[in-house]
Structure 1
Amino acid sequence: MGKRVGIVAGGIVAELFERDEEMKLLTDVMAGVRRREGGVVLIGGGPGVGKTALLDVFLRRAADAGAQVFSASGSVAASGADLAVIKELFLGSDDEEEIRSATRSSKGAGEFEDRLFAAMCRETRGQLVVVAVDDVQLADAASLRCLLYLVRRLRTAPLMMVLCESTGPHMLPPAIHAELLRHPQARQLRLLPLSRDGIAGVIEHHVDTAEASDLVADFHAVSGGNPLLVHALLADSRDARRLDPHQPSKAVASTAFTKAALAWAYRAEAELFDVACGFAVLGEAATPPLVACLVGRGADAVEQVMTALDTAGLLDGGTFRDAAVGKAILENVDAVTKADLRRRAARLLHDDGAPATVVAQHLLAASVTESWAGRTLLAAAETAMEEGQEELSLDCLRLAGQSARTERERSAVVMARVKIGWRIDPRLVSPWLDPLVDALNAGHLKGGDAAWTVKHLAWHGQFREAEESLARLGEAPYAGDPRVEDELHVVRAWLKSTCPSVSDDAPGRAPRAQRRGLQPRQVSPSSYAVELLGTVMAEGPHDHTVAMAEEILRGCRYNETVVEALEAALLTLVYADRPDRALFWCDALLQQAGPRSSGTVVAILSGVRAEIALRQGMLPAAEEFGRAALAAISLPGWGMAVGTPLSSLVLATTASGKSGAAGAWLNGDVPERMFETRHGLLYTHARGHYHLAVDRPAAALEDFLTCGELAKEWGTDTPTFLPWRSSAAQAHLALGNSVEARALVREQLGRPGGSTFRARGVSLRLLAAVSGPDQRPALLRESINLLEACGSQVELIRALADRSQALHALGAPAKARMAARHARTVADNCGADALFRRLFRDEVPDGEGGLEGVEGEDEGSAGLTAAERRVTALAAVGHSNREIGRKLFITKSTVEQHLTRVYRKLGVRSRAELSDLFVGTNMGTGPGAERLARTS
């Protein structure tokens, strides 16, 4: 970093950084002039790089060294007046009047130049002379001729000439450059922006050392090292720090920065300002041809300004290094001109094939409502929505509505509002449903848009309108349109699994199956997924169904697949009793959503995630995702679907012992017609379990039986979807109706899906409750194994509680305590402490979290060594001592010694008792026990 160069003038210190070499060259040329070797220095550079500052410092040094200094500046305003710069040079000199008289003379230019040189010699009387002209490119032609004459006389006079030229459209002609640089003592300087070290030198005395490195990078990113902007940023940043001393130091572009940006832009050079405005308006889309067309300047002028801005550090890759520069320029353009620039930029970019969102930014800024803008705005709204720019999307839709001229255009805008509004929050769709139906009836909607109108109506509970729209889609111009038929098939499948009460089977119309067969359908993820969901809800799970659902999810991405397909495929896995696979795919999709915490897709996926957590018995997660689902969109936006996240929250809080919270969720208003949907079934079923928890078994039974009636009517009577029979059996047991409970349980075991691990495990637990004492342990052992295998932890705790009670009743307290300890472990894992305490209240002393009599060294598997656990795990699944020794690479005698100690610690006398004791514990008795033996 060059050392700081400074002078004191009037108490103000002017500082230059990284200009040591330039100052040395100027000083060397001045020293040569003293030896009668006249010299000329041409200083060039982009706007704001410090040419004037360098010149001022040098001239003060020259004056202090005894030189006679004449200085002037060129300007566009005076460029039309002959010899304006020359007059300014000699303003205040003794020969000023003679020079003025000479300029008014009609004599030839040569005689005037001679008189000018003679007057200068008299003025200086042999003293060193420095003639300096800033912005020489703006000097009038006559003054330039005089300056060139003086250059030719440099060899015979102690004269040094310093000319500053700004890079840009008004640079000196090449002929003048050649004339100036032909002199033997001519020098040319090109000033560049400051480096990071130079910026550090500017700010080092104004910021903390610890913050300097980050601040230097910040300053360089915004200013590009342009000294004018660097000092302005420093002033703004210091002002901001004074207003808030606690905020960290950072580059703040405010008042001083704006003024500095305008200082170089408003240099009375119209081309410079116009082209700068063009770059500011076009932003990242700026190219020289586009800027030239936008501002009405020649391509050469644009290229020259680009060069100037680039050498000044203001451009980076053809755009302003920081948006603050362009913003500062445009803030000082009047509203009419700015709007015109935006309008023209929009059309230029549109014709150039720019992305719709880029064009839309300009259309919005200028409020362009021309007919061509409508299609661009609709495309931009869709793209912006996909990119998560919701506000931009809505703004585009509003302007598109103003641009629409025909009924079809207005219908297209309405459809776009509905589709995009639904993705943001379905509440935004409500005001547009009536216009949407009008557009459908008028035949103005296209393809899939027409079909999905039915879904939007059903989502908001307008079932009659949905049925009428279904009927309308069977008429001209929609009838026979393959695009309508394809999407309508998906919509019908969605209605069947979600809103079964909505039907379009009017008298005299062909059955749906026949209508579907009229045209070959286009296969789509949505079509497959909703059909799979309907199949699993009606027929129960099948391996093929699970495989197809996973195949759909494998090919889906968050933003590329409609949410109906994602939801249906995930729920297919959930209702096929594969919550583990549903968890994997749902988490992957939510991860693709990134930091988004709002929007309909996030809301629906979070709702599904809550259902998955509930099936696995992960109560805190179910509550967390249920709340996240409701927070992602407004409650009115949920429409009929609000029953699903509410049901998860009610079940999770009820099982967690938070009956007050569950009651609060149930006390909220829900749409009346929700109870005609799948979501209403789930809500009613959850409400029934709340009634059971607060000792209202009669109310619970009514809810469960209502669910059963509707599930039968709608063809969705499978226990993997809605186990209303086992739930009703629990209510009957609470009412003392064991016969009715047994009948419901046996009926559930025979239903499609009743043999899945979860459904059968719950059924066997309830069957044990209505069976004799001797039958209960075996039924509960199988129930525990099934529930543990499928990961249904809440139901597992209930089964372990029943087994503990059954073992106590049979006089086996050690085994009962082992079951209780296992339940404690499960409850800790799934956040079901309140449920555990309620079910094991006799085992949990007041004020303690453990189990009385279970934590001792000689009780349960906790007292076994690692070697004993390995031997026990293999013995419990039926391996002989010899087989155990071979598997564990120990002798048969060692196995026998381990088993002797295990029998003593666990209080058992045989392998049969050992196996019975460890059924349902965390050691297990199946392949899991083998794995435990290998890894313990």
Structure 2
Amino acid sequence: MDRRLYGTVAAMRDHARITNAGGVSPRAMRVERLVRPYDRDAGSGLDLTGRLYGREPDTAALASALDAVAGGRARLLSLEGAAGAGKSALLARARADARRRGWTVLTGRAAMLEAANDFGVLRQVLAGLPPAPDGRAVPALRTAQDDASPFDVFELVSAHLFDVTAGAPVLITLDDLQWCDTLSLRWLAYLAHRSADLPLALVLASSPREMSEQQFLLDELIASCERRTLHRLTQAHLSRWIADVMGAGADDVFVAECHRVTGGNGALLADLLPALAARSVPPAEESLASIEDIGGAAVSRRVLSWIRRCGPEAPAVAQAVAVLGDDGELVLVAQLAGLDLDAAARAADRLIKMDVLTNTSPLRYVHSLTRAVVHAGISAGLRTSQRLRAARLVRDHYAEPERAAAHLMAVDMSSEPWALETLRAAADAALERGLPEQALGYLRRALAEPMPVSARAELLAGIGATEIGAGVAGAESTLHEALAIATEPSLRVRIGVDLAYVDAVAGRPLKSALEVVDEVCARLPPGRDELAAEAELGVFAAYTASADAGEFLDRRMARLRDRAADDARLTVLTGVVDAWSGARRGRDRAECVRRARSALETIDHQRTWELRLRLPAVSALIDAEEYDLVGDLRGIDGHFGHRQGTAGDATVAACLRGRLAYGRGDLKAARTVLGTALKHPSVAGTDGVARLVSVLTDLGDLDAADRLIREHAPAATAAPTWATAVFAFARASLCAARNQRKEALEGFLETGRGLRALGVDNPAALPWRSRAARCHALLGDGAAARALAAEEVELARRWGSPRALSTALAASGVVSGDPAAALEAVTVLDRTDAELHRAMALVDLGTVELETGAVDRARDHLQDGFALARVINARPVWLRAARYIKRAGGRPDLGRIGGVTALTAQERAAAERAAAGATNRQIADDMVLTQRTVEQYLTSVYRKLGITGRPQLAAALSC
């Protein structure tokens, strides 16, 4: 094939002068514009009179290279980095330095569209040469014949270059060398290999590009150079730059956000920062939202230019990646861009080398600002179309509805059935993961899709239930809207039960919601007794969420039994009611446990109203002190981490976890867990506050307990409620700790009156009799004290839980001076981890023995109680023990508080599991604790055993 023969630039200029002796011809002017050398001193937009931020080492290297050339040695440098890294600015700095030195400066810049033009870059370089003194023209840039080597041209051009400069130093800078034409690259390689003794500085700048024949030439040329790679700027560099441009020091968060959106790219920063300064945006945290908004417009031209330089397919690939976001797998990008896989891959590779996309799977943008520019450049109509296509592609590719729903959320409506199905499936998946707020977003978006009235009623009911779970105000309005259009009986029952539950967790009377439930049940078709039974069980769950189900047991229990009689499964679920009420009345502990366990194993985790039955079931197990059984049933978190758990559920769950920790004697964990009950102002929250007051009292933090009582005391009610009773007990316990005996006695008796009115006889719920008995004894009424203590012992024996029986026996021993009862209070706790109860029982036993003259035994038991109370931080108990130890003629033995013996049962259990190789998560699941509590246990174990970590546990525990 014939080569195109190129004339010399000098010949063109001479021709222009000859044909227009009196001036410059129009053609000559056009020629001058075409051959004017590239010298964009603005570089990447940096102020060249100031600093090149973060490029100080590179600037110093360039100056050193020019110094070496001035001394007679050639220097070849290669600056490598992604687009916008600052290569052009450094070249411009080198040219400015060389001109100050009086050197000849030649420059050129390659372009992708000119890569096929032979000698294109060399032409630019030669155009900067001054005229030869003897008038000689630049040798012609052509080959003599088709198959001739260009070597002669290289030799003549190079010789002419140094003849013209007369041996003076020369700087040649070439930008975007990756697009250089082949013959110019070969000339540069020729020059680089023959310039060792010449005063030449050759500085090249290039970005990575795809492999080709030209790339091998480029690599060979660069291999002969000193290579410097320009990395992204750091936040420290950026902080100084912002201060100079914006005239004020920047907040760390502002610097971090600028760095995030630009990825530390110098060119993007050079466009962004002046744009922010021009709009007087302060470099502070309150300006974070402005960075991307203003920056998008400022960098758009540069970003789109980078993308266009990556080939004709690159814009479509860039748009597809912007739309797909985190789902930008190459196969999906190709389909969305309408390209075959190979073409999309080539375009993606170019964008990666241009530092626009990351070299990852899925593909992502290096700079969020770049993605914002590309996304904003897509027209509204095309964006909607691409989003819908992306949603369908993602749904089919991943089979994960939430990923597809993320794209549907960006579109107002699709009018396609699959979109509605995808959004509802995504909501279900979010609920399964315990994310009601996210599920609510999917469901509300689904309302925009066309659907039948029955489907809309179902959807509204789901939204209402999810709003309950998310704690969103107005859930009852959504549920009433659903009820107004719902016709399916089971849906109407579900809505009615949810309305009752909304009122319950908000602490409102249930009357109006129950009227809705009764009306719905009255309209059920014949033969649907199972729906009516489900409604009654849902109402029971609502009652227990409000912490008082006495009215249900009195008025609705018989109705529930009748409606569930013919359904074996509903009969098992009805056992929750029997277990809960039996535990409150202290009747048949084994049967209560059996019914609660059977119900928990029967509950359908996909039915919200059934999930709520777990609350009273687990409460009954804790009242029965079946802590290990709760663990076998996957723990309290397992019971309450369900699809549509409400804020009220979370509060009740916190109360139950707190009760579990308190029963085991872990006052610190009980305090932490019960603190979450303060986050929800429901009646269940009141119960949690009251229990937290009791924990603080046992810890000796009386001022904190008093503040809680004053801030969260429930309003007075006409009839007794569980909330008022449990709060009266907490208040009385605080008075007792302050030695306000009369006030304490009055409070405990008030608690008893309230509980009796509610039918609560079980001392495991609140041991008000034993507390009142102690107050009576201290006030001198021994008969009343012994009567109340004996009554509690009888009730506790009938119920049969160790902690409740120990509490009753200890009080009986103290008020009646009976060492046998006091000793039984200690021994009944054998094989339990009731550390607080054990410490109190030991101290009570010691005091009784001291009063009866058994001083040595008394001192030993008091020392044991003192040590255990110190370990669990029960301050009032160990202070009381210390007083009686001194009365017995001894001193508290601090030596007992250390080593393995200082570990509580919970700490010992956690340590043994950790020594066996269990993880903190596994220990938490096994022991029905939070992972944070396990970490606290192990930290305490390490401190008490004097070790630093798990590897030493086994040896320390065996000592």
Query: TM-score scaled by structure 1?
Result: 0.60
Number of positions where the alignment pairs a residue of Structure 1 with one of Structure 2: 748
Partner of 1:276 in structure 2? 318
| TM alignment of 1:639-658, pairs within 5 A | 639-658=682-701
Partner of 2:35 in structure 1? none
CA-CA distance at 1:516 after TM superposition: 0.9
CA-CA distance at 1:282 after TM superposition: 0.7
Partner of 1:761 in structure 2? 806
In the alignment, does 2:714 pair up with 1:666? no
Give the counterpart letter for 1:361 in structure 2: A
In the alignment, does 2:760 pair up with 1:721? no
Q: Which runs of no fewer than 5 residues in structure 2 stay unpaired?
A: 1-40, 62-78, 132-142, 163-170, 195-202, 240-257, 277-281, 285-290, 902-956
> Which 10-residue stretch deviates more, 493-502 or 455-464?
493-502
Task: Check 1:785–1:813 CA distance in 2 against 1; reply closer, same or farther (3 A cut).
Answer: same
| TM alignment of 1:174-253, pairs within 5 A | 198=229, 229=265
Q: Distance in 2 between matches of 1:643 and 1:227?
A: 50
| TM alignment of 1:285-684, pairs within 5 A | 285-288=327-330, 290-292=332-334, 294-295=336-337, 301-312=343-354, 314-321=357-364, 323-331=365-373, 333-334=375-376, 337=379, 340-341=382-383, 344-350=386-392, 352-353=394-395, 355-368=400-413, 376-384=422-430, 386-387=432-433, 392-400=438-446, 408=454, 411-425=457-471, 429=475, 432=478, 434-435=480-481, 438=484, 445=491, 451-460=497-506, 461-476=508-523, 484=531, 487-488=534-535, 490-491=537-538, 494=541, 498-501=547-550, 503=552, 511-521=559-569, 532-538=579-585, 540=587, 542-543=589-590, 546=593, 564=612, 567-579=615-627, 582=630, 589=637, 603-631=651-679, 634-635=680-681, 639-667=682-710, 668-670=712-714, 678-679=722-723, 681-684=725-728
The C-alpha deviation readout for 1:97-150, integer Å capped at 9, x for no partner, is xxxxxxxxxxxxx99x9xxx9xx99996984799999889999xxxx9xx9999
Q: SS in structure 1 opposite 2:886?
A: coil
Partner of 1:851 in structure 2? 886
Partner of 1:105 in structure 2? none
CA-CA distance at 1:642 after TM superposition: 1.7
The C-alpha deviation readout for 1:364-399, integer Å capped at 9, x for no partner, is 445558675555444434434554666644544554
Aligned Cα RMSD in Å? 6.8
Q: Distance in 2 between matches of 1:337 and 1:588?
A: 51
Q: Distance in 1 between matches of 2:803 and 2:485?
A: 48
In the alignment, does 2:305 pair up with 1:266? yes
CA-CA distance at 1:645 after TM superposition: 0.6
Q: Distance in 1 between matches of 2:321 and 2:692?
A: 54
Partner of 1:921 in structure 2? none
Q: Is the 8 A contact 1:738 1:770 kept in 2?
A: yes
In the alignment, does 2:871 pair up with 1:829? yes
Task: Check 1:578–1:778 CA distance in 2 against 1; reply closer, same or farther (3 A cut).
Answer: same
Task: Check 1:655–1:294 CA distance in 2 against 1; reply closer, same or farther (3 A cut).
Answer: same
Task: Check 1:476–1:556 CA distance in 2 against 1; reply closer, same or farther (3 A cut).
Answer: closer
CA-CA distance at 1:734 after TM superposition: 6.2
> Which 10-residue stretch deviates more, 810-819 or 457-466?
810-819
Q: Distance in 2 between matches of 1:374 and 1:624?
A: 43
CA-CA distance at 1:419 after TM superposition: 3.3
Q: Distance in 2 between matches of 1:779 and 1:504?
A: 36
The C-alpha deviation readout for 1:905-929, integer Å capped at 9, x for no partner, is xxxxxxxxxxxxxxxxxxxxxxxxx
Q: Is the 8 A contact 2:232 2:263 kept in 1?
A: no
Give the counterpart letter for 2:359 in structure 1: D
CA-CA distance at 1:704 after TM superposition: 1.1
Q: SS in structure 2 opposite 1:474?
A: helix
Q: Distance in 2 between matches of 1:769 and 1:227?
A: 73
Q: Is the 8 A contact 1:411 1:436 kept in 2?
A: yes
CA-CA distance at 1:628 after TM superposition: 3.0
Query: TM-score scaled by structure 2?
Result: 0.59
Q: Which residue of 760, 777, 794 corresponds with 2:819?
A: 777
> Which 10-residue stretch deviates more, 556-565 or 825-834?
556-565
Task: Check 1:550–1:127 CA distance in 2 against 1; reply closer, same or farther (3 A cut).
Answer: farther
Task: Check 1:608–1:705 CA distance in 2 against 1; reply closer, same or farther (3 A cut).
Answer: same
CA-CA distance at 1:648 after TM superposition: 0.8
Give the counterpart letter for 2:541 in structure 1: W
CA-CA distance at 1:330 after TM superposition: 1.6
Q: Distance in 2 between matches of 1:598 and 1:764?
A: 40
Q: SS in structure 2 opposite 1:717?
A: coil
Q: Is the 8 A contact 2:388 2:407 kept in 1?
A: yes
Q: Which residue of 758, 772, 779 corresponds with 1:710?
A: 758
Task: Check 1:334–1:352 CA distance in 2 against 1; reply closer, same or farther (3 A cut).
Answer: closer
Q: Is the 8 A contact 1:45 1:191 kept in 2?
A: no
The C-alpha deviation readout for 1:474-516, integer Å capped at 9, x for no partner, is 2455875698568546535535755424549989x98322311
Task: Check 1:75–1:737 CA distance in 2 against 1; reply closer, same or farther (3 A cut).
Answer: same
Partner of 1:24 in structure 2? none
The C-alpha deviation readout for 1:632-668, integer Å capped at 9, x for no partner, is xx32xxx231232122122223444555543433332
CA-CA distance at 1:788 after TM superposition: 6.0
Task: Check 1:682–1:404 CA distance in 2 against 1; reply closer, same or farther (3 A cut).
Answer: farther
Q: SS in structure 2 opposite 1:624?
A: helix
CA-CA distance at 1:230 after TM superposition: 8.0
Q: Distance in 2 between matches of 1:207 and 1:49?
A: 13
Q: Is the 8 A contact 1:49 1:312 kept in 2?
A: no
Q: Distance in 2 between matches of 1:756 and 1:312?
A: 72
CA-CA distance at 1:530 after TM superposition: 6.5
CA-CA distance at 1:705 after TM superposition: 1.8
> Which 10-residue stretch deviates more, 647-656 or 488-497?
488-497
Task: Check 1:358–1:371 CA distance in 2 against 1; reply closer, same or farther (3 A cut).
Answer: same
Q: Which runs of no fewer than 5 residues in structure 1 stay unpaired?
A: 1-6, 21-42, 96-109, 209-221, 246-251, 845-849, 870-933
Task: Check 1:830–1:570 CA distance in 2 against 1; reply closer, same or farther (3 A cut).
Answer: farther
Q: Distance in 1 between matches of 2:853 and 2:107?
A: 117
Q: Is the 8 A contact 2:619 2:656 kept in 1?
A: yes
Q: Is the 8 A contact 2:314 2:347 kept in 1?
A: yes
Q: Distance in 1 between matches of 2:808 and 2:217?
A: 102
CA-CA distance at 1:576 after TM superposition: 0.8
